[in-house]
DNA sequence: TGACATACTTAACGTCGTTAAGTTAACACC
DNA sequence: GGTGTTAACTTAACGACGTTAAGTATGTCA
């Protein structure tokens, strides 16, 4: 009874074909060039064929984001040498975060700068949670090792989300700000370490607020 | 020769009518509900009448953003008591920034989270530059007053853009992240002071990076 | 009075996401 | 081995979008 299985395999392959085409379109032409018609043309199907495999465009893009989130999380997870102490690991995480954003701006935009209502399946896969857990765990480890000030011990989420927000803010501002605005933006690769070190220094001191 | 003037006045009034309707639409229904047709219906004109006053939708929205940027800048400028020292003024600026974002999320999204190619006129008005100049000036004053560490004296832009990015990141992440993502986001009003104090503490110490 | 400019309308084009109806081919069964 | 069913796909079309072209009317000026 291999027929049913082969059919499922074929269907999954077509699904993947569509997802890959969508990512190609995203990377090559940018987010708003992802069009059901452009997608269809790329895979040489009619536009409505996609609806056999995905409920609608949003579901498709959500599924794509789940894949890309996985890749993002793996990059973060592999960014630190195994012998690094927690504080260094935080620095490596920050560096990997910024690097991902600079190397894959379209994907970053899709993952972190685009609103999307999650399907239940996408919610179940929860890759953003995994990436955040990685950051939170590293913060926790730094706290446990006494590498951050003990007054933050009860608020690891505050520390983690401050770090995350700062990294995201630097990336997002640079992606959104039109170059014509005459603010002399410091290059990301210069600013990111500055922000990271300033925050680490801040969190090594007693909590003020 | 008051006729010409009256005509210009009338035309300017219609322009303003359209802009006000656009802002109402933005605030009430959200950014993507701003439609030439919805806009036209609201002012009881035909959709194409708008094109008499604006070259296209993007020009219209850019002009709207210039107005809102002005309001934003004024809120920032008036946020500090006159006798506050530079460091306190930085805190007030941060507070006003966050407050604006929370009270006017749609405007914030429009100003800071939407890409737009600027017209030359919009570029000439340059309100974002004014807001940034306000921040930069306050950072500079704090440096001059010795309220931040002297090792940052040559890099006021780094300090200013780190602060700005962090505030923006906190706001933007919370606006983009769907609530269904199971990351327990710290409330903005709690997190923002934490980030601000951590950064200030960091910038009161010698530069590490 | 007649030419002209200008604020507007109606009609329409091409694009988008999406739905409905039809086609076709492979499988399942008597 | 013909027949019915299922499921992947296509074509046609809908409504909404931004925008353009062509027409209308009103008010100004010579």
- Residue-by-residue DSSP string for A29-40: H-GGG--HHHHH
CA distance A139 to B55: 51
Footprint of strand C on the protein (CB under 7 A): A 3-4, 6-7, 34-38, 47-48, 51, 56-58; B 7, 10-11, 14, 44-49, 52-53
Contact B194 A158 (CB under 8 A): yes
Alpha-carbon dihedral sign for residues B108, B70, A173, B186: negative
Mean pLDDT in chain B? 93
Percent share of chain B, pLDDT over 90:
82
Nearest chain B Cα to A176, which residue? B115
Pick the CATH number of A64-203 from 1.10.357.10, 3.30.565.10, 3.40.50.300, 2.70.150.10: 1.10.357.10
H or E, element range at A168: helix A156-176
Q: Please give the model's pTM, rounded to 2 decimal places.
A: 0.93
pLDDT for position B3: 65
Q: How far from A46 is each of A43, A49, A203, B29, B83, CA to CA, in Å?
A: 9, 5, 55, 34, 68
- The answer for residues whose C-beta is within 8 angstroms of residue A182's C-beta and 6 or more apart is B123, B126, B129
Q: Where are the domains of chain A?
A: 1-54, 64-203
pLDDT for position A39: 97
pLDDT for position A180: 76
pLDDT for position B2: 67
Tokens found for residue B76:
């920032």
**For the segment B145-163, what is each residue's pLDDT rounded down to a tens digit?**
999 999 999 999 999 999 9
pLDDT for position B9: 80
Query: What 3-state DSSP class applies to B171?
Result: helix
pLDDT surpassing 80 at residue B106 = yes
B183: left (phi over 0), alpha (psi -120 to 50) or beta: beta
Contact A194 B155 (CB under 8 A): yes
CB contact at 8 A, A186 and B161: yes
- The answer for residues whose C-beta is within 8 angstroms of residue B103's C-beta and 6 or more apart is none
Look at residues B13, B115, B121 and name the one whose alpha carbon lies nearest to residue B63: B121
CB contact at 8 A, A98 and A171: yes
pLDDT in tens, chain A (209 residues): 466 776 778 888 999 999 999 999 999 999 999 999 999 999 999 999 999 999 999 999 999 999 999 999 999 999 999 999 999 999 999 999 999 999 999 999 999 999 887 777 777 777 788 899 999 999 999 999 999 999 999 999 999 999 999 999 999 999 998 777 889 999 999 999 999 999 999 999 998 77
Nearest chain B Cα to A175, which residue? B115
CATH code at A1-54: 1.10.10.60
DSSP code of residue A78:
T
pLDDT for position B122: 75
Give, in Å, how far the C1' of C12 lies from the CA of B141: 60
B173 to chain A, closest Cα gap in Å: 7
CA distance B34 to B25: 6
pLDDT for position A119: 78
First to last CA, chain B: 66
Average pLDDT over residues B52-78: 95
H or E, element range at B167: helix B156-176
pLDDT for position B119: 78
pLDDT for position A125: 74
């Amino acid at each position: 009874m291999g027929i049913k299985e082969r059919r499922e395999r074929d269907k999954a392959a077509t699904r993947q074909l569509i997802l890959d085409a969508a990512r190609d379109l995203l990377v090559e032409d940018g987010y708003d060039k992802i069009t059901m018609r452009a997608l269809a043309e790329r895979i040489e199907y009619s536009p409505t064929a996609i609806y056999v495999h995905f409920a609608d465009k949003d579901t498709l893009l959500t599924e794509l984001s789940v894949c890309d989130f996985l890749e993002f999380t793996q990059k973060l997870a592999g960014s630190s040498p195994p012998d690094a102490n927690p504080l260094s690991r935080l620095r490596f995480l920050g560096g990997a975060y910024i690097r991902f954003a600079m190397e894959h701006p379209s994907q970053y935009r899709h993952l972190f700068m685009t609103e999307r209502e999650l399907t239940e399946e996408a919610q179940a896969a929860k890759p953003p949670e995994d990436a955040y857990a990685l950051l939170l765990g590293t913060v926790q480890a730094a706290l446990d090792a006494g590498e951050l000030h003990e007054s933050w011990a009860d608020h690891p989420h505050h520390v983690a989300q401050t770090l995350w927000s700062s990294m995201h803010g630097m990336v997002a501002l640079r992606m959104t700000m039109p170059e014509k605005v005459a603010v002399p933006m410091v290059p990301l690769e210069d600013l990111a370490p500055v922000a990271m070190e300033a925050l680490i220094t801040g969190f090594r001191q007693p909590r003020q607020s």
